[in-house]
Structure 1
Amino acid sequence: MKSLIRSLRILEAVAQHQPVTVGEMTKLFGLPKSTVQRTLVTLAEAGWLRANRRDTTRWEIGARVLAVRPAALQGSSLFVAAREPMLRLRDRVNETIHLSVPDALQCMVVVDRVDCDHAVRTFHAIGDTSPLHATAVGRAVLAYLPKQDVDELIARGLEQFGDSTPAGPEDLRAELKRIRTDGYAVNRNQFRPGVCAIAAPILDEEGTPLATVAISMPESRYDEARLREWGRMVADTASEITGRRPGT
């Protein structure tokens, strides 16, 4: 039990002071360096923590925290601002609508979902993660990140999940330019076979992407002739959510 309590306190401290080093945590808790290091590694292996992408000697909160975040998120300004517009968008298109947030450049995490009433529909569990370069929600974020972040993601290598996944640097950059022009991103079988999505970013006052809202559907209901219409609707929904957030 003492070990569990210590781990939780270290997790809380990382969340408060991130990104932090082992040495900083050792001083904070007055514990042996080996104990702190072992706890951090264990939490990282479970997905609760991860090494900072710019300085791997520092630790920060990982995707697992975002996976359990929705319950807490329900009281947040983002969740409150997004819920009603998501419901209205679902009613207009009768497809699954989901809200996702980025975990730095690691992945996108689904934090809320509104289901349609079709017997056959896409399903995204709360807490599901997906790569940025291969999905509409991820590219909607990438399109509004600084160039150096995109370059960093490309330098890591772009995994190809299907024949249509943009795995080449120039292909990805061209797609991000199109997203900035059109205001929405499109995924047609680029991550999961048979799954299509149209997504738009929710931006803060400085234009930084905080989250994305997306329409998701089986490929059997994807209609290229309606893409512009769907794109406008999801972009308008994202803009409405942005405007409903306090301080905007």
Structure 2
Amino acid sequence: MHLERLVFILEVVGQKGRATVADICAQSDLPKPTAYRLVQDLVSSGLLESPARGSFAIGKRLRRITLSDYSDPALLEVIAPVLANAASAYGAAFFLSRLRGHWVEILHVATPETGVSYLHPGIGKRPLHACSCAKAIAAVSPELLSRDELKGQLRQYTEHTITNREDLAAELEAIRAKGYAECVEELERGISSVATTLTKTGAGSTVSIGATASVRVFTPATRNKIGKALSEMSQELSCALGWNDADAERICA
């Protein structure tokens, strides 16, 4: 349990780039005194450092171990321009999400600059069972659904929300077969979205890109088109980030 807490804190700080104890507590059920003590343990070991008072970042020792940067700023530097181009090309909002603890969080949204009308998905947490960005991640990491923490979390948001574990398992199997996830009025009436992970394994399996629009705009045919486009984008981005699983390695070569 102690080790799991330390690893979780490192994940939160690593993803955000910089995080406070309050940020860590917001992503977990850790009491503030416990989180602060664990953070100090990580600082003393060189795995975290404090570049500013009250703010913590990955320490030099851990950076030497990993030799990589998976922080939000590092991802945005590569992914944000690609999402901006897609938003303009398709006239819809495109977004970047990643797994944080037991939720998936939308952390960046690119909107079209062509004067067209679009829907903004908003920034923040999404449940694993009721949003395309979260279902895409859950589909390639089914162990997320076996956690005890998921019990009681299959909340119904609309009449289209999946609230049964067996139905959700079938949905995730269909997502794996298609290569992308869809959400059609499952989280909010009138809104649909499509998303896929950057890779099927490794670090990229916890990061997804997607697009959203009204159900009138994102018809089944359009969602299929967007899904295929997102799959191609994910392959290109995974190559750029060096997150190449077995399938992506053939494409990046």
1:211 is matched with 207
Q: Per the alignment, in what secondary structure is the counterpart of residue 206 of structure 2?
A: strand
Contact preservation (8 Å) 2:129, 2:168: yes
Q: Per the alignment, in what secondary structure is the counterpart of residue 50 of structure 1?
A: coil
Where do 1:45-56 residues align within 5 Å? 48=26, 50-51=28-29
> Structure 1 CA distance, aligned partners of 2:171 and 2:157?
17
Q: CA deviation at 1:118?
A: 5.0
Q: CA deviation at 1:119?
A: 5.0
> Structure 2 CA distance, aligned partners of 1:167 and 1:175?
11
Which of 118, 123, 140 lines up with 1:121 in the alignment?
Answer: 118
Asked if residue 86 in structure 1 is aligned to residue 64 in structure 2, the reply is: no
2:143 is matched with 148
> Structure 2 CA distance, aligned partners of 1:247 and 1:173?
26
Q: Per the alignment, in what secondary structure is the counterpart of residue 198 of structure 2?
A: strand
> Structure 2 CA distance, aligned partners of 1:121 and 1:47?
34
Q: CA deviation at 1:150?
A: 1.3
Contact preservation (8 Å) 1:154, 1:169: no
In structure 2, do the counterparts of structure 1 residues 207 and 178 end up closer, same or farther at CA, with 3 Å as the change threshold?
A: farther
> Structure 2 CA distance, aligned partners of 1:208 and 1:140?
12
Q: Which runs of 5+ in 2 are unaligned?
A: 10-20, 40-54, 56-70, 245-253
1:235 is matched with 231
Where do 1:157-236 residues align within 5 Å? 157-203=153-199, 206=202, 209-236=205-232
Contact preservation (8 Å) 1:134, 1:166: yes
> Structure 2 CA distance, aligned partners of 1:247 and 1:208?
6
Q: Deviation digits for residues 25-63 of structure 1, max 9, x if unmatched?
A: xxxxxxxxxxxxxxx7xx48x9535237xxxxx7589xx
> Structure 2 CA distance, aligned partners of 1:214 and 1:243?
18
Q: CA deviation at 1:159?
A: 0.5
> Structure 2 CA distance, aligned partners of 1:118 and 1:216?
17
> Structure 2 CA distance, aligned partners of 1:19 and 1:243?
27
2:131 is matched with 135
Q: CA deviation at 1:144?
A: 0.8
Q: CA deviation at 1:215?
A: 0.9
In structure 2, do the counterparts of structure 1 residues 208 and 156 end up closer, same or farther at CA, with 3 Å as the change threshold?
A: farther
> Normalising by the residue count of structure 2, what TM-score does the alignment of the two structures yield?
0.66
> Structure 1 CA distance, aligned partners of 2:8 and 2:100?
14
> Structure 1 CA distance, aligned partners of 2:150 and 2:72?
31
In structure 2, do the counterparts of structure 1 residues 235 and 247 end up closer, same or farther at CA, with 3 Å as the change threshold?
A: closer
Q: Which runs of 5+ in 1 are unaligned?
A: 1-15, 21-39, 53-57, 66-71
Q: CA deviation at 1:138?
A: 0.5
Find runs of 4+ consecutive structure 1 residues off by over 6 angstroms. Answer: none
Contact preservation (8 Å) 2:193, 2:210: yes
In structure 2, do the counterparts of structure 1 residues 118 and 182 end up closer, same or farther at CA, with 3 Å as the change threshold?
A: farther
Compare 173-182 and 237-246 and name the one that shifted more.
237-246
Asked if residue 102 in structure 1 is aligned to residue 80 in structure 2, the reply is: no
Query: In terms of Rg, which structure is larger?
Result: 1
Where do 1:31-70 residues align within 5 Å? 43=22, 48=26, 50-51=28-29, 59=35
**Count of residue pairs brought into register by the alignment:** 194
Identity of aligned residues (%): 15
> Normalising by the residue count of structure 1, what TM-score does the alignment of the two structures yield?
0.67
Contact preservation (8 Å) 1:204, 1:242: no
Q: CA deviation at 1:154?
A: 4.6
Q: Deviation digits for residues 201-225 of structure 1, max 9, x if unmatched?
A: 1237637513111011122212112
